[in-house]
Amino acid sequence: MTQDELKQAVARAAIEYVPVGTVVGVGTGSTANYFIDELGKIKHKLDGAVASSEGSAQRLKKLGIEVLQLNDVTELPVYVDGADEITHHLAMIKGGGGALTREKIVAAVARKFVCIADQSKLVDVLGKFPLPIEVIPMARSYVAREIVKLGGQPALRQGFTTDNGNVILDVHNLTIMKPLELESALNQITGVVANGLFARRGADVLLLGSEKGVQTLTR
Ligand code: 5RP
């Protein structure tokens, strides 16, 4: 199976986690896009969706799925999204698509986070994938210096502005042995909007696409 076929398989499997007659939280990225396509097939069973990016919102609307603002929603039973890396404990690096802040917000509201990923995303230790950090533009240099003190090598994502009007620093050379601690430490740096470590609020379920089929991991 190709990587795209694995992504499609987990996207299909995630539909089982979407309760009928509810609003579903929808992530961002190529795997999430396959999930959106699957949602299109059951749209008559949905009350709508909350999107973690403008891109996903557009894709949902094109399929005729109503997109609601998070502030107008009190209940979000499930949030489905991909990851750049995920451990067996279901801590993740996210934000390869630059949507990490909104992803974190929607994930915080959701009762259940279902991560959908192909097998290449499963790792023992987070950090090989550069950790994205969303930063207020005027704080970029200061935040970069603070990250160097923590042992990382930040690189500005060139020509990219987030949906919130900010920039992304991709932090290389991290071997993240203590994701909870690093997530908190990064949040303490003034000018950081959010970082791509999802350890405090990790996934509840991982649907992992492999040659053996879709495996389900929970924590
Ligand atoms: C976007 C994300 C994505 O979930 C992550 O980058 C994985 O993307 P893909 O499914 O395309 O591999 O965090 O900000």
Nearest CA to ligand 1 atom 2: 95
Specify the DSSP class assigned to residue 153.
Answer: E
Q: Tell whether the model's pLDDT for residue 183 goes beyond 90.
A: yes
Q: What is the pTM of this model?
A: 0.97
Nearest CA to ligand 1 atom 7: 83
Q: What's the pLDDT score for residue 219?
A: 86
Determine the average pLDDT of the residues in 157-163: 98
From the list 5, 85, 103, 134, the catalytic residue is 103
User: Which mutation among 4, 6, 84, 164 tests ligand 1's pocket best, with the greatest number of atoms within 8 A of CB?
Assistant: 84
Active site residue 16: no
Q: What's the pLDDT score for residue 190?
A: 98
Taking every pair of Cα atoms in the chain, the longest distance, rounded to a whole number of angstroms, is 52
How confident is residue 13, by pLDDT bands cut at 50, 70 and 90? Answer: very high
Say if strands 78-81 and 112-118 run parallel, antiparallel, or are unpaired. Answer: parallel
Q: Please report how many Cα atoms fall inside a 13 Å half-sphere around the Cα of residue 125, on the Cβ side.
A: 8
Q: Which is the closest atom of ligand 1 to the Cα of 99?
A: 14
- Percent of the chain, pLDDT > 70? 100
CA distances from 29 to 80, 116, 213, 217 (A): 11, 11, 21, 21
Find the 168 Cα to ligand 1 centroid distance in Å. 14
**47-81 pLDDT, tens digit each:** 999 999 999 999 999 999 999 999 999 999 999 99
Find the 27 Cα to ligand 1 centroid distance in Å. 8
Nearest CA to ligand 1 atom 4: 82
**24-55 pLDDT, tens digit each:** 999 999 999 999 999 999 999 999 999 999 99
Residues touching ligand 1 (Cβ under 6 Å) are 27-31, 81-84, 94-100, 103
Token look-up 């995303």 returns: 121
Q: What's the pLDDT score for residue 199?
A: 98
How confident is residue 84, by pLDDT bands cut at 50, 70 and 90? Answer: very high
Q: What's the pLDDT score for residue 161?
A: 98
Determine the average pLDDT of the residues in 174-202: 98
**97-153 pLDDT, tens digit each:** 999 999 999 999 999 999 999 999 999 999 999 999 999 999 999 999 999 999 999
Q: Tell whether the model's pLDDT for residue 198 goes beyond 90.
A: yes
